Amino acid sequence: MLARRPIKHCRECGTAVQYLIPTDDSRQRAVCPACSTIHYENPLNVVGTIPVWQDQVLLCRRAIEPRHGLWTLPAGFMELDETTAQGAARETDEEAGIRFELETLFSVLNVARVGQVHFFYRARMLDTQMNPGPETLEARLFHEHEIPWDELAFRTVKETLSLFFEDRRQGQFVVHCADIA
């Protein structure tokens, strides 16, 4: 049930590909009948942060689809030639426009049904100045009891925030790995 469009042409020679199971493989792949190139389709990485100021968490209200108008943590697709941490920092800057210190990796969430892996890092805000970018309608700090749980854009954001607040109550942050159906 992947949302991505199938590969139609070989990236090496331009010939129309065929979907078949290559020898010694167990999955159907896009294979070029002309040059025998096998095209592997891999998950996309989504990278973001949980920006914190004192006992509040920053959320961004989306100005773009999908989920226009709903709240999310600052996050987006990782670019080539950047690490997950660099991508998380870039997305946070682009969407929230805050000054922050990136802390440790907090959650790794597999969303296999859409071919994505979401990585969230903790981030300590250095002040409360915000300059949201064009993908954000507004950025705002929330206490835990103020989080608009029914207006969160993505299940990975809801899961990450739930885990974050639970860890904060326990007084210890750990790295969480989970599968999101």
Given this model, what pLDDT does residue 3 score? 56
User: One-letter amino acid identity for 8?
Assistant: K
CATH top-level class of 44-179: alpha beta
- Quote the pLDDT of residue 5: 81
Domain ranges of the chain: 12-41, 44-179
pLDDT of residue 49: 99
The residue ranges of the chain whose pLDDT is under 70 are: 1-3
**Six-digit token pair at 45?**
């990485």
Q: Look-up: residue for tokens 């792949």?
A: 29
pLDDT of residue 68: 98
CATH 2.20.70.10 fits 12-41, yes or no: yes
Which of 55, 20, 166, 66 has its CA nearest to residue 107? 166
Residue 60's identity, in one-letter code, is: C
Residue 141: CA atoms inside 13 Å, Cβ hemisphere, count? 14
- Summarised one tens digit per residue, pLDDT across range 57-92 is 999 999 999 999 999 999 999 999 999 999 999 999
